[in-house]
């Protein structure tokens, strides 16, 4: 397998993760500014998770560029990374839905 295929697969998974996260943000009821202000914690939580996923994505590309060949160990390691990143929408929603309480925040941190 070439590194390009692994990168493309990982890019697809990360795109889906980001899409799921943004779909978790509920559209506010009402067309005024106050309804958007009430979403500020959720939007900030999404931004935090988006930045973290962006960091992982950027580092992933640098690692794939540095890899000389793709073998089974790299494939399984990459799947491990993608597994934990696939939990990000749940961890983000869990932390956001519980107003940054210690257990949900610890779960979010351990997922990272």
pLDDT one-digit tens code per residue, 20-31: 999 999 888 888
Q: pLDDT tens digit string along 37-95?
A: 989 999 999 999 999 999 999 999 999 988 888 999 999 999 999 999 999 999 999 99
Number of separate domains in the chain:
1
1-22 burial, b at 16+ Cβ within 10 Å, e below that, comes to eebeebbeebeebbeebbeebe
Report how far residue 102's alpha carbon sits from residue 51's, in angstroms, rounded to the nearest whole number. Answer: 21
Domain with 19, as residue range(s), is: 3-111
> Is residue 112 predicted with pLDDT exceeding 70?
yes
Q: List, in order, residues 6 or more apart from 93 with CB less than 8 Å away.
A: 21, 24
> Is residue 1 predicted with pLDDT exceeding 70?
no
Place of tokens 């990459």: 78
Per-residue model confidence (pLDDT) at position 8: 94
Q: Count Cβ atoms within 10 A of the Cβ of residue 49 and give its class: 0-12 exposed, 13-18 middle, 19 or more buried.
A: buried
CA atoms within 13 A on the CB side of 36: 3
Asked if 56 contacts 13 with a C-beta cutoff of 8 angstroms, the reply is: no
């Amino acid at each position: 397998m070439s590194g390009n295929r692994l990168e493309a697969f990982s890019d697809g998974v990360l795109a889906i993760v980001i899409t799921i996260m943004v779909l978790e943000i509920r559209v506010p009821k009402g067309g005024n500014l106050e309804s958007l202000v009430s979403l500020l914690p959720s939007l900030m939580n999404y931004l935090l998770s988006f930045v973290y996923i962006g960091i992982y994505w950027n580092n992933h590309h640098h690692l794939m560029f540095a890899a000389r060949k793709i073998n089974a160990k790299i494939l399984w390691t990459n799947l491990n990374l993608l597994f934990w990143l696939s939990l990000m929408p749940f961890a983000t929603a869990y932390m956001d839905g519980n107003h940054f309480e210690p257990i949900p925040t610890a779960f979010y941190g351990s997922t990272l």
